[in-house]
Amino acid sequence: MLFFLLLLLVGPSWTQAAAPAAVQLAHLRCELLTNPEGIDATAPRLSWELSSPARGLAQTAYQLLVASTPEKLAADEGDLWNSGKVGGGQSGLVAYGGAPLRSRTRCYWKVRTWTTQGESGWSAPARWSMGLLNYLDWKGRWIGLDHAFAWDKEESHARLSARYFRKEFTAAKVVTQATASIIGLGLYELYLNGQRVGDQVLAPGPTDYTQGVKYNTFDVTALLRPGANAVGAVLGNGRFYAMRQNYKPYKIKTFGYPKLLMQLDVTYADGSHEVIKTDETWHATADGPIRTNNEYDGEEYDATKEMPGWATAGFDAKSWLKTELVQEPGGAYEAQMNENMRVMETLKPVALKPLAGGKFILDMGQNMAGWLRLRATGRRGDKITLRFAETLQASGELYVANLRDARVTDVYTLRGGGRETWEPTFVFHGFRYVEISGYPGTPTLADFDGRVVYDDMATTGEFATSNATINQIYRNAYWGIRSNYKGMPIDCPQRNERQPWLGDRTTGAYGESFVFDNSRLYAKWLDDIAQAQKADGSIPDVAPAFWRYYGDNVTWPGTYLTIADMLYQQFGDAQPIAKHYGSMRRWLAYMRANYMTDNNIVTKDKYGDWCVPPESAKLIHSQDPARNTSGEVIATSTYYHMLTLMQRFATVLGKPADAQEYAALGAKIKDAFNQKFLNAQTAQYSNNTVTANLLPLAYGLTPDAERGKVFQNITQKILVENTGHISTGVIGTQWLMRGLTAEGRPDIAYKLATNRDYPSWGYMAANGATTIWELWNGNTADPAMNSQNHVMLLGDLLIWYYEDLAGIKAAAPGFSQLEMKPALIDGLTSVKASYKSVRGEIRSSWQREAKRFTWNITVPGNVKALVYLPAKDAKDVTEGGKKASDVAGVKFLRMEGDRAVFEIGSGEYAFVAKM
């Protein structure tokens, strides 16, 4: 079959348009994947994927057409843009270059490509529409109810009821197009004629609302009807009206009462337009069923207060108030380009146990973030109370000490008269267990569902090995990451914190990018960070800065740079680098001016190697100087690494003078660092912790002649002093697995990865963890800071899984080139992984027997890969049963130590190597 296709491909008819197109164009997409409505980039970027059953498919040119109507596009008329035939292999993030795009313009587009296997023909059409680009495109006024009501409480455990807004209008003519644009702060639900608009939850994405707000856009044409219509919106508090009012105002930001700006742009069949918009004619109430909604404390819903039909025409709103016109929030109105949250999975609970006092404990079998949906039958006014926790006490009761003062309690009051189903609207919880009290009758497992809530992004990676501990840790990491994507990456989903701490993601974001398509989330987060930067250049440790933590250390704010670098490498996107370069430059200059000595040592650090395994089981932070790494070592080496990143960025942006400036400063720091911290006799850095020796190795600070000896100190420390265990915290762990592997000891990395005793990721799993803990000793430490669902201690573990175990590593930005070089480790006999890169799916599945290495590989279209097979000689390698170097499309390049290196293009390959 394959042979037949190959013949067909080289046949003369192939380039004719009439020939069956074996070059497929898939996953055509515009900048925003999940919702093509309402883009505000004036040059949106277009991407596509190529595939073909044949090998070695590479693009040589493309042509893009963008039209203002589907008909024009079908007639191959790119009235907005015809790129013409553009040579080259770029298949992603091609910036629109046509006629200027105005607000609400609908754009229809397609692409065709020329490839090494002929022409693809035109792709299926795709579409996007422009949002409201100008401030004055927003015709409405900001509305709200700018005060608390008798049933609200404005204190440290704030209670504020949801606010409901409604407006009726008449569609006098036939509607051909209707678009809703909404900024509902803190959180909104939008209804048209009683129907929910979209399936997003907890929208829009959180920002510092004094700096910028996100709008969402929906095509609602199908929801309008001729004649009387009604639009309704509910506002919840989210981060806007903060959870703790009048409490630590110096630290916790609040923004006032919820507020709404929305408009409905309607186009009629006769070509006329109408805008339905928020203004003083709307009505409002805060006396609906959602009595309070507080992300930390929970939601209370009283179904006896429901207002049936409130979002449909004809509802009697006599008791409703006139809405108030209120102040607008600060900053720009930005189209939300990152995904909204959604219910991404529904989990069935695994156990339900009675407790004294008519209470029950429900076990989801998995630590998760989201909420519980319940079904019940009871009397009007019966109250069901749900409390959430990650673990249980020995008594079987919830363990809530580690939630600090978050009350995490949802209350549902039944309306009575039949089976009722309820789930909250404006909160989420981090939990595995739920305490249920007041349930009418006896609950059963079938009465509950766990609703897993996070950003609506695709899972891009799969990973399994022959080692069960690694597989369990991978699963725990997967659950931890999805728990903590909440329109921003937060540290934890359960206690009274849930803050977007930068340092938790410095390297984590890169590892996560294999598992989830997090490109839009992190691009948005860089904007949050930029908005949080102070005029002098200072960058906080938390952004958006809901908590005001400006600490001027290097490690947490440095995440601004590492994530821009990640987006470039993993997704091929240089735009964040270009956009943020100036702010990064200002931050580095600010840090240098304020915290660098004349001898080029950076003195300011705040968190050290956060959360190293401490000397006693109860401790959160080690007090032992031998376990902790000097702040100056961490700050200076990290600053040096930042300069390396800036050199790369300056080069990408074509700023050679900047690159030189950073290189020159880097050279000075390197000398100063080694002079001050490297012991010439022992080749130990500072106090010889793994982190102190590892950072200079990883960052390229160590003189070549000393590298071997410095590394010796690391292996000695791990294998002998720590008897094969990890001793690093958040900082050191970011380089540990890759560092050990790059220096030739993947076996030590494997030991750390598969340990099941303390301290290790496996220890967490062995002690019941279904996510990753904040602390290595998370089962014994003081509850004051002991989340069971943090991702920061993952360090570079996921990168190591994919790059070093599976051999899926980008050798050029955006995976246009791949390096496939799996580490060979005794005891690890197989790895099976896949990763949906921006160019298509990469697969790597290998098995190792005593003298044989079997490796199945899939390389997507338009990608070249270097594959490193373990063999003494190229002739010991076969592909598809034939000597590999004789197979067309498989090119032997060279021997590198114990590896035979081949180059391959796209396609599926079955290699076998005699070792």
**Which residues pair with residue 501 across a beta bridge?**
542
Instruction: Identify residues 497-516 at the interface with ligand RAM (CB under 6 A).
Output: 497, 501, 503-504
**What is the C-alpha to C-alpha distance for residues 682 and 341, in angstroms, rounded to an integer?**
52
Tell me the closest approach of the beta carbon of residue 491 to ligand RAM, in angstroms.
Answer: 3
Tell me the closest approach of the beta carbon of residue 781 to ligand RAM, in angstroms.
Answer: 12
Question: The dihedral of CA 719, 720, 722, 723: what is its sign?
Answer: positive
Tell me the closest approach of the beta carbon of residue 561 to ligand RAM, in angstroms.
Answer: 17
For ligand RAM, which is the closer residue by CB, 108 or 501? 501
Instruction: Identify residues 98-137 at the interface with ligand RAM (CB under 6 A).
Output: none
Task: Check if the beta carbon of residue 194 is closer than 8 Å to that of residue 278.
Answer: no
Tell me the closest approach of the beta carbon of residue 253 to ligand RAM, in angstroms.
Answer: 16
Task: Check if the beta carbon of residue 48 is closer than 8 Å to that of residue 70.
Answer: no
Q: Which two tokens stand for residue 587?
A: 């931050």
Buried b (16+ CB within 10 A) or exposed e, 310-339: bbbbebebeebeebbebeebeeebbbbbbb
For ligand RAM, which is the closer residue by CB, 672 or 731? 731
Q: Which two tokens stand for residue 841?
A: 């799916």
Backbone dihedral angles phi then psi of residue 79, each to the nearest 5 degrees: -70, -25
Q: By rule CB under 6 A, what string of x and - marks binding of each residue 769-808 to ligand RAM? A: -----x---------------x-x----------------
3 state SS of 633:
helix
3-class SS shares of the chain: helix, strand, coil, % to 5: 25, 30, 45
Report the amino acid identity of residue 501.
W
Task: Check if the beta carbon of residue 855 is closer than 8 Å to that of residue 845.
Answer: yes
Can residue 491 be called a binding residue for ligand RAM (CB under 6 A)?
yes
Strands 391-392 and 877-879, sheet pairing: unpaired
Task: Check if the beta carbon of residue 856 is closer than 8 Å to that of residue 908.
Answer: yes
For ligand RAM, which is the closer residue by CB, 775 or 867? 775
For ligand RAM, which is the closer residue by CB, 96 or 428? 428
Tell me the closest approach of the beta carbon of residue 787 to ligand RAM, in angstroms.
Answer: 7
Tell me the closest approach of the beta carbon of residue 791 to ligand RAM, in angstroms.
Answer: 9
Can residue 334 be called a binding residue for ligand RAM (CB under 6 A)?
no
**What is the C-alpha to C-alpha distance for residues 412 and 301, in angstroms, rounded to an integer?**
5
Count CB atoms within 10 A of the CB of residue 309.
13
Element (H, E) at 823: none
In the numeric block, the tokens 């977007």 are attached to 500
Can residue 390 be called a binding residue for ligand RAM (CB under 6 A)?
no
Report how many residues bind ligand RAM under the rule CB under 6 A: 10
Tell me the closest approach of the beta carbon of residue 765 to ligand RAM, in angstroms.
Answer: 20
For ligand RAM, which is the closer residue by CB, 206 or 493? 493
Tell me the closest approach of the beta carbon of residue 405 to ligand RAM, in angstroms.
Answer: 14
Closest C-alpha to 476, from 792, 801, 761, 803? 761
Among 144-152, 496-504, 733-741, 869-877, the segment contacting ligand RAM (CB under 6 A) = 496-504
Q: By rule CB under 6 A, what string of x and - marks binding of each residue 447-486 to ligand RAM? A: ----------------------------------------
**What is the C-alpha to C-alpha distance for residues 391 and 409, in angstroms, rounded to an integer?**
16
Element (H, E) at 592: helix 575-595
For ligand RAM, which is the closer residue by CB, 264 or 792? 792
Instruction: Identify residues 603-632 at the interface with ligand RAM (CB under 6 A).
Output: 607, 610
Residue 477: alpha-carbon gap to chain centroid: 13
3 state SS of 252:
strand
For ligand RAM, which is the closer residue by CB, 342 or 627? 627
For ligand RAM, which is the closer residue by CB, 116 or 484? 484
For ligand RAM, which is the closer residue by CB, 710 or 726? 726
Backbone dihedral angles phi then psi of residue 484, each to the nearest 5 degrees: -105, 10
Closest C-alpha to 187, from 290, 43, 315, 314? 290
For ligand RAM, which is the closer residue by CB, 189 or 504? 504
For ligand RAM, which is the closer residue by CB, 298 or 503? 503
Tell me the closest approach of the beta carbon of residue 495 to ligand RAM, in angstroms.
Answer: 9
Tell me the closest approach of the beta carbon of residue 479 to ligand RAM, in angstroms.
Answer: 17
**What is the C-alpha to C-alpha distance for residues 542 and 561, in angstroms, rounded to an integer?**
15
Tell me the closest approach of the beta carbon of residue 542 to ligand RAM, in angstroms.
Answer: 8
Tell me the closest approach of the beta carbon of residue 778 to ligand RAM, in angstroms.
Answer: 11
For ligand RAM, which is the closer residue by CB, 694 or 792? 792
Tell me the closest approach of the beta carbon of residue 477 to ligand RAM, in angstroms.
Answer: 16
For ligand RAM, which is the closer residue by CB, 455 or 497? 497
For ligand RAM, which is the closer residue by CB, 412 or 607? 607
Rounded to 10°, the helix 631-652/575-595 angle is 140
Tell me the closest approach of the beta carbon of residue 769 to ligand RAM, in angstroms.
Answer: 16
DSSP 771-815: S--SSTTTTTS-GGG--S---GGGTTHHHIIIIIII--EESSGGG
Residues that bind ligand RAM (CB under 6 A): 491, 497, 501, 503-504, 607, 610, 774, 790, 792
